[in-house]
Structure 1
Amino acid sequence: MSLNINVTSEISKLNSVLLKRPGREVENLTPDTMHGLLFDDIPYLPIIQQEHDAFADVLKNNGAQVYYLEKLAAEAIEHSKNKEKIVQQFINESNIHEKTIADELTGYLFSMDTQSMVDKIMAGVRNDEVDIHSTSLAWSADHQKKSLFLMQPMPNLYYTRDPANILGSGISINNMTYTARKRESLFMEVIVKYHPDFKDSGLNIWRDRMVSTSIEGGDVLVLSDEVLAIGISQRTSGRAIEELAKTLFSSNSTFKKILAIEIPHVRAMMHLDTVFTMIDTDKFTIHPGIQSLDGKMSVYILQPGKAKDEIDVTHQTDLSAALKAALNLSEIALIPCGGGDAIAAPREQWNDGSNTLAIKPGVVVTYNRNYVSNELMREHGVKVLEIPSSELSRGRGGPRCMSMPLSRD
């Protein structure tokens, strides 16, 4: 049975969503490796799993069907009849090219059932797990000093928003910016290609992971069936946005306009959705730190040009005016993270106070720790569903980061 995959709104009722329950990959972080793997701290696995389960329960209790990345990946590999080829691709993309080592690792992974194998690839394979018999310099004492792992762990996988995103009736499978995350989108490629619920769904592939430019799902907001907002950020380039725009405008997509919003290229604001999200038809969260003191910022409006494959680009400095024009609204509310307070705003933004997940218009899931932002949203008539966040927040991503909507009303 194929899924009805379609997302033309940030805020309409969430029908189905893709999550990844944190696993052993987060325990395979060390103080020496966590920054290279894009973490600022090491989560405590039992508690981060409890908190993630609470998040999933909120979504289920509000009518969303929850799918898990690790389960879909294993099912897709089982259906593929190409298990060895897929495993070889993961090994190649882990920079293991010496045949003896690759063969030993393949044998080790094939000794497991498919689900255990997928979990192991995600968690990482340590050097001392595999009995390597090789005289190659690729397996010298030097190599073992450089890394504890043959295959590096993928602790960012529970942020399912970034490796791929559904845009209308299609999907962008993303080329991730940093090496630590590049293999993540391979799981989505395998799922879309081989899982029966996806391969027969009629899903358009707007963009695949083999392109040279980078775009990540946390930068892409589906404001309506005709309008996207995409962050020009630390992890999404202007060139990638133009490439996606040309594809969407020249295909059978419904999108006719893209607001490319420039944000600071810093760790604390890595994606647009860490500083700006849509929570109702006319309400948005925003971190004041992305605007100048007079409220100005760079917003580029991309629309189809007169000639084929041509894009018209105009520049504005008023985000509110750009949003009202694009969405045909007379008024909007930009709700400042932390109330705009000099201490509360950056503190709550660091803990993803602006990273809300709308599950229907005016109903959002947030972290409980961001109490200033949450109360301010309630004052604006928004229903706020809080989830525990002491460990989930250590990876610098919130409820929107942890979810990839597959279907909305």
Structure 2
Amino acid sequence: MFVRNGTSELKRVLTCPPTYLKEAAPINEISKKYADQPLDREKLADEFNQLIAAYHEAGVEVEQQTAAPEMTNAVFARDFGGCVKEGYILGRFKKELRFPERKAYEDKMKELGIPKIAEVKEGYFEGGDFAFLTEKDIAVGIIDRTNQKGFEELKEQLSRLGYNVYPVPADPRYLHLDMCFNLVDDHLAVAYKEGLPASFLKLLEKLEVEIIPVPEEAIFKHGCNLESLGAHRVLSLKQNKVVNKALREHGMKVIELDITETLKAGGGPHCMTFPLQRG
């Protein structure tokens, strides 16, 4: 079994160092603000090492993709696809900048012995839009990087395996679903509720998912870009003071990362992590 759901104990992940992330390519609302500013190489490396150290401390095995000059944004490993208990889904990037990552990550997954059980070939689908709600219920954002065609391809293939796949359209400025919604524990999520469709909010209510609300501006400061470790533990950003306080009040152990430079390229801890095994 590979990834059973989104909140059970995280055991193994795939990451990629930000070796060639030199400046924030203006491909999303956050990175546009920093496109003319070179990123601090030392700080990027330190932030990545913080993430890896946090995983090791939590008992999570870390695999690494080899960085390459043509894969500037490969540090955001989440985006090449998704992973379920049967194997992984190979997505399809929308931005040309990220095209070289697809083959590299496909080769890496083959090397790791994880079978490809689905693939998006015609539409677009990126892993930041993939979210387990329960073991059999999966939400897929149709926001900026995943389109209707990609969603339909994904739904058709996952439905054969018994999964219920739900579309979650939202404002393209939010980039990915994990920027405005994130399940952090069983029946507990962090989200900008007003930016999510009523049908999705009703589904969450039906599934008894409680939402810790964040304001819209938190989306652009990675207030929802958290990574569940299972056993009521979550990785968050040190700057997420209000969210972290609320998480602790809900019984969560919050592990804070002092990441600020990597965020300028448009992604946080969730974006930097591709789960390989949860159970």
Check the 8 A contact 2:140/2:168 in 1, yes or no.
yes
Tell me if 1:235 matches 2:145: yes
- Structure 2 distance, partners of 1:276, 1:239, is 22
- Structure 1 distance, partners of 2:167, 2:47, is 33
- Structure 2 distance, partners of 1:36, 1:215, is 16
TM-score (norm 1): 0.63
- Structure 2 distance, partners of 1:223, 1:65, is 24
Check the 8 A contact 2:227/2:270 in 1, yes or no.
yes
**Larger CA deviation: 163-172 vs 37-46:** 37-46
2:41 counterpart letter in structure 1: L
- Structure 2 distance, partners of 1:37, 1:66, is 28
Q: What SS class does the counterpart of residue 78 from structure 2 fall into?
A: coil
2:122 is aligned to: 212
Check the 8 A contact 1:279/1:361 in 2, yes or no.
no
Q: Which runs of 5+ in 2 are unaligned?
A: none
1:401 is aligned to: 271
Q: CA deviation at 1:185?
A: 1.2
- Structure 1 distance, partners of 2:260, 2:146, is 28
Aligned counterpart in structure 1 of residue 168 of structure 2, from 261, 265, 269: 261
Aligned pairs (5 A) from 1:122-141: 122-123=68-69
1:219 counterpart letter in structure 2: D
1:171 counterpart letter in structure 2: Y
Check the 8 A contact 2:86/2:117 in 1, yes or no.
no
Q: What SS class does the counterpart of residue 152 from structure 2 fall into?
A: helix
Tell me if 1:13 matches 2:4: no
Q: CA deviation at 1:204?
A: 3.8
Check the 8 A contact 1:7/1:408 in 2, yes or no.
yes
CA RMSD of aligned residues (A): 2.0
- Structure 2 distance, partners of 1:182, 1:53, is 26
Check the 8 A contact 1:16/1:405 in 2, yes or no.
yes
For residues 315-367 of structure 1, give each alpha carbon's deviation from its aligned partner in whole angstroms, at most 9, with x where no partner exists.
xx243331243x4x3xx321112xx4xxxx50x32121111100014211011
1:320 is aligned to: 201
For residues 73-114 of structure 1, give each alpha carbon's deviation from its aligned partner in whole angstroms, at most 9, with x where no partner exists.
xxxxxxxxxxxxxxxxxxxxxxxxxxxxxxxxxxxxxxxxxx
* Count, aligned residues: 274
1:107 is aligned to: none
Q: CA deviation at 1:247?
A: 1.2
Check the 8 A contact 2:193/2:201 in 1, yes or no.
no
- Structure 1 distance, partners of 2:199, 2:142, is 16
Aligned counterpart in structure 2 of residue 45 of structure 1, from 26, 29, 41: 41
Check the 8 A contact 1:281/1:361 in 2, yes or no.
no
Q: CA deviation at 1:280?
A: 1.3
- Structure 1 distance, partners of 2:201, 2:194, is 15
- Structure 2 distance, partners of 1:206, 1:235, is 18
Tell me if 1:284 matches 2:189: yes
Q: CA deviation at 1:167?
A: 2.1
Aligned pairs (5 A) from 1:100-249: 119=67, 122-123=68-69, 153-193=70-110, 195=111, 197-198=112-113, 201=114, 203-207=115-119, 211-249=121-159
Q: Which structure exhibits the higher relative contact order, with contacts defined as CA atoms closer than 8 Å and separated by 6 or more residues?
A: 2
Aligned counterpart in structure 2 of residue 360 of structure 1, from 216, 230, 233: 230
Aligned counterpart in structure 1 of residue 242 of structure 2, from 361, 369, 372: 372
- Structure 2 distance, partners of 1:221, 1:406, is 14
1:205 counterpart letter in structure 2: I
- Structure 2 distance, partners of 1:65, 1:408, is 11
Q: 1:190 to 1:318 in 2, by over 3 A?
A: closer
TM-score (norm 2): 0.91
- Structure 2 distance, partners of 1:37, 1:244, is 24
Aligned pairs (5 A) from 1:341-352: 345-346=216-217, 348-352=218-222
How high is the sequence identity, in percent, across the aligned residues? 23
Check the 8 A contact 1:220/1:228 in 2, yes or no.
yes
2:72 counterpart letter in structure 1: P
Q: Which runs of 5+ in 1 are unaligned?
A: 71-118, 124-152, 292-296, 298-316
- Structure 2 distance, partners of 1:324, 1:381, is 20
- Structure 2 distance, partners of 1:238, 1:245, is 10
Q: 1:37 to 1:384 in 2, by over 3 A?
A: closer
2:261 is aligned to: 391
Q: CA deviation at 1:154?
A: 2.7
Q: Give the greater-gyration-radius structure (CA).
A: 1
Q: Which has the higher helix share?
A: 1
Report runs of 4+ in structure 1 exceeding 4 Å deviation: none
